[in-house]
Structure 1
Amino acid sequence: MPTHPAASPAWLSTWMSAGAALSFLLMLSVPSGYSVGGGVLLLGGLAIWWTGRRAASAPGTAGTRHFGEIAPWTVEDRTLCALLLAVFAINTLAVLWHGDSGKYLDQGVRYLLALPILAGLRRVRLRLDWLAAGLALGLFATAGIAAWQTRWVGLVRAEGFVTSAIPFGDMALTMAFWCLMGAALAAIQRRRAWAALLLAGSLAGTYAMIASASRGSLVALPILAILAAIALLRRAHLRPLLAGVAILTTAAAILLAALPGSHIAESRYAAALDEWHAYSQQGDATNNVGSRLEAWKAALISIPERPLLGWGHTQYQDHLRELIETGRIAPFVGTLSNTHNQFIEIWLHQGSLGLIAFLSLLIAGFWYFCRRLRAPDPTVRVLACCGAALPSAFAAFGLTQVILGRNNGVMFFLVSLAVLWAAMRQAERDAETGSA
């Protein structure tokens, strides 16, 4: 991933590039690591806004191009910003309308804070090599944490320093896929050292995912494979890609066969089928699969009663007790902290307005990235593939968990969306202007 000369003050490009690299480096490997890079990017975005505002208000600068702008803002840029704002606004409206605790504003506010990050990243030149290095090194550290937790601490499933093993495995898989795509790009560009580093990072992330024994991660794999095939399959690139696939497949098979955690993952996948049969045939809602399905049933019974802005959290708990007392829902559902489905959770507590805003953000982000999957420039294609993988993978993860209901999940999603979008738009502009 080549680095280009800065088109804005050097310290701003350095600051934002460091913030993006730190996000990937620390995301899963240190406690609250997801906040460090995001905080650096937020401060940098606000500094860029303030500096640009002062420059625009200076005498003789009226009507000039915006400070530090790498590429002109488009309808796509503005739409993403508008949708981020809409998700925040509807979340806030729902919380205030229901009289819920202020803690339910926490994740929604982060969509608002993503705006200066996205705007700031769009107005500096990111150093893509820094992002690649932060991603690979972050996955090495993540794999080390997974090995330490499962082999020395004694945890059955690696969970890093996030809320549980499930989001840990999901985010490790997503980063491993990005690393794999970076390795493919480096191979196409004949940058062998970078290809080897990023391929090793991808394997490290794969190990962390296996050690987490996260079943939901597998749902995203077919989607990621299709996106990679669309972006990479070219006759000219076939030889290095086949070599990389062979290396990765062999190494992954060794990981599955030899490393701790593989047998746990296999047993959990088999158990999921048994749990499904126990629920569907015997009505057992006390296992993982059955409890999720029963929670979805309770939510889908309740949503039509308050379709616009949904139920407040306290209101819903009272309503859920009524459903249990009347025998419509199994009692075990009352012990669950949420519905274990991102879409149903938003629909339940923010109504149709919240669900429409959230789906619009996912679909718009996915579509805008997908439009570049067949771009002539390989850097644009790879970044577009990584970007499209983010909303599609999180949509898949969200089918069985509320992955954006915790700070680590929402910070990972929003920071990655902003970084990948800005990096792709920068690469697209460079390809158009012939920069190298």
Structure 2
Amino acid sequence: MKNRILPLDWIVFFILFTTSSLILIGRKVGNLSFYSLMLVALICLVFRINHSGTNFSELFHKFWKLHLAMAGMFIAILLHQVIAQDFAIRSFDYPSRMALFVLIVWACLVCNARMFQWLQWSYVLGALLSIIKMYIITDGGTTRAQYVDFMPIIEFADLTLLLGFFSILSIKYGSGTVRAQRIGNAVKILAGAGTLYAAFISGTRGAWLGIPFLCAIAALVLFDRFELKKKITFTLLVVTLLTGMFVLHPKVQTRIQSVEQEIDTYSKDSSVDTSVGTRLGLWKASLMVFAEHPLVGVGRENFRPTLERWGQEGRISPVIARQIHSHNEMFYNMVTLGSFGIIGLLGLYIVPLIFFTRKLRQSKDKELRAVAGMGMMLCVGYMIFGLTDVMFMWGVCDNFYALFAAILFSHLYQRERVLALSNIAS
């Protein structure tokens, strides 16, 4: 059979464009995109459709370490349930998004390199729509909602930032006429700056914490014409400038001062219900639980019952006892999945990060470097955001990580193939 079914590439492109632009806007967009791509992948496997001369077996074996790392959390849950003999099928739902990464990639590779380049506008559209949504739900920054439809405002602010920085890095694609590039770049900068504003009015300190790291990656990619010393200087300058603009604003200063006050309050009375105090108490309690269950943890389903029991026994405060997670990705996985959870989470963060970082270092092509930078931002962003919350507890965050990792990986793969063919032709 031919390697390509004519309408299939456009169907997948529509799915990916819709995903990138609407995943933070519509409740079911992420799930619909995931299952649609699974269907496409199965069609390709059943009819033995190869992509650009690559078959599924080759793709799996060549990148098996990455596929294994993406399945790390799924494997950790499986090991816990087998060893603890405590089975709960629903615990596999969200982690399955990452575990099936190889199938999402196989579906994405139906699209050609040009189509992946067009996806830059879905990042811009997604950023702009999310900015508008943030402005509406916060009444222009005058109120701070806890939830945004189907996700907490913390995660919404985090993912909005990532879309904004993806938009900025896509400036390096450099397609179209000079005039079109200038207009497009202006829109991308507007989208990026707008997501910084959205993070600001959200009042989300976790998102603010990630901004310097995302700025650093953006600067390293955008200033690629400079030598290393100048690149580091410009990076530090950009990070310092943006950090200073945030820190000097009264609203940000108030939020920072509240951290100091809440820490002081917690040191005097750990039972007081404050945002920072609760986090500190949860982290301490998480270490205590992990110390008693270091190998497999207590399980996803038993996190809250364990805290409630400890609260009744007086080992932790009532405020801590009624929390649903640890407010820290690593601590939550330590408690629920033990050492397996630590390994699984680190694999999910670090292996894709190494992959994208190597691509950035090895390539001189501007588009490849931009896409690799986006991949780094995805991994680093989740690592930083996970310091103060549990990102992978929310379906939209699991879908976002899995789908964008697959999109960026596939973009790199197809772009490298095009460059390789052009080198052969020349």
- Mapped contact 1:308–1:351 kept (Cα < 8 A): yes
Q: Write the deviation string for residues 76-122 of structure 1: whole angstroms up to 9, x where unpaired.
A: 62222222334323323434635354432221232334331122223
- Mapped contact 2:17–2:119 kept (Cα < 8 A): yes
- Matched to 1:378, the amino acid is K
Distance 1:273 1:162 in 2: 31
Aligned pair 1:427/2:415, yes or no?
Answer: yes
Partner of 2:321: 334
Q: Measured at CA, do residues 197 and 76 of structure 1 come closer, stay the same or move farther in structure 2, by a change above 3 Å?
A: farther
- Matched to 1:89, the amino acid is I
Q: Write the deviation string for residues 50-78 of structure 1: whole angstroms up to 9, x where unpaired.
A: 222xx6xxxxxxxxxx4444696376622
Match of 1:50 among 46, 49, 63: 46
Gapped runs of 5+ residues in structure 2?
Answer: none
Distance 2:107 2:218 in 1: 29
Partner of 1:63: none
- Mapped contact 1:342–1:402 kept (Cα < 8 A): yes
Partner of 1:4: none
Partner of 1:21: 17
Aligned pair 1:295/2:295, yes or no?
Answer: no
SS in 1 for 2:9: helix
- Mapped contact 1:167–1:403 kept (Cα < 8 A): yes
- Matched to 1:384, the amino acid is A
Aligned residues: 407
Aligned pair 1:276/2:251, yes or no?
Answer: no
Match of 1:117 among 101, 104, 113: 104
Q: Write the deviation string for residues 294-350 of structure 1: whole angstroms up to 9, x where unpaired.
A: 111111111122222110355554543453355432221011111111111112111
Match of 1:234 among 224, 240, 249: 224
- Mapped contact 1:21–1:37 kept (Cα < 8 A): no
Partner of 1:201: 191
Structure 1 length normalisation: TM-score?
0.82
Aligned pair 1:40/2:36, yes or no?
Answer: yes
Question: What does 1:405-416 correspond to in 2, within 5 Å?
Answer: 405-416=393-404
Aligned pair 1:213/2:203, yes or no?
Answer: yes
- Matched to 2:96, the amino acid is V
Structure 1 residue 395, shift from structure 2 partner: 0.8
Q: Write the deviation string for residues 248-305 of structure 1: whole angstroms up to 9, x where unpaired.
A: x89x96x999xxxx86555333312221222235435521111111111111111122
Q: Measured at CA, do residues 281 and 430 of structure 1 come closer, stay the same or move farther in structure 2, by a change above 3 Å?
A: farther
Q: Measured at CA, do residues 76 and 299 of structure 1 come closer, stay the same or move farther in structure 2, by a change above 3 Å?
A: farther
Question: What does 1:88-127 correspond to in 2, within 5 Å?
Answer: 88-95=74-81, 97=84, 99=86, 101-126=88-113, 127=115
- Mapped contact 1:135–1:201 kept (Cα < 8 A): no
Q: Write the deviation string for residues 190-216 of structure 1: whole angstroms up to 9, x where unpaired.
A: 522321222222233223222322110
Q: Measured at CA, do residues 157 and 210 of structure 1 come closer, stay the same or move farther in structure 2, by a change above 3 Å?
A: farther
Distance 1:432 1:387 in 2: 21
- Matched to 1:90, the amino acid is A
Partner of 1:3: none
Gapped runs of 5+ residues in structure 1?
Answer: 1-6, 56-65
- Mapped contact 1:28–1:138 kept (Cα < 8 A): yes
Q: Write the deviation string for residues 377-410 of structure 1: whole angstroms up to 9, x where unpaired.
A: 0111110000011111101111111110110111
Question: What does 1:34-433 correspond to in 2, within 5 Å?
Answer: 34-52=30-48, 66-69=50-53, 73=59, 77-95=63-81, 97=84, 99=86, 101-126=88-113, 127-151=115-139, 155-157=143-145, 159-186=147-174, 190=178, 191-235=181-225, 266-283=253-270, 285-313=272-300, 315-374=302-361, 375-433=363-421
Structure 1 residue 236, shift from structure 2 partner: 6.8
Q: Percent identity?
A: 22
More off after superposition, 136-145 vs 224-233: 224-233
Q: Measured at CA, do residues 130 and 206 of structure 1 come closer, stay the same or move farther in structure 2, by a change above 3 Å?
A: same
Structure 2 length normalisation: TM-score?
0.84
Q: Measured at CA, do residues 325 and 370 of structure 1 come closer, stay the same or move farther in structure 2, by a change above 3 Å?
A: same
Partner of 1:59: none
Structure 1 residue 171, shift from structure 2 partner: 0.3
SS in 2 for 1:434: helix
Distance 1:69 1:121 in 2: 15
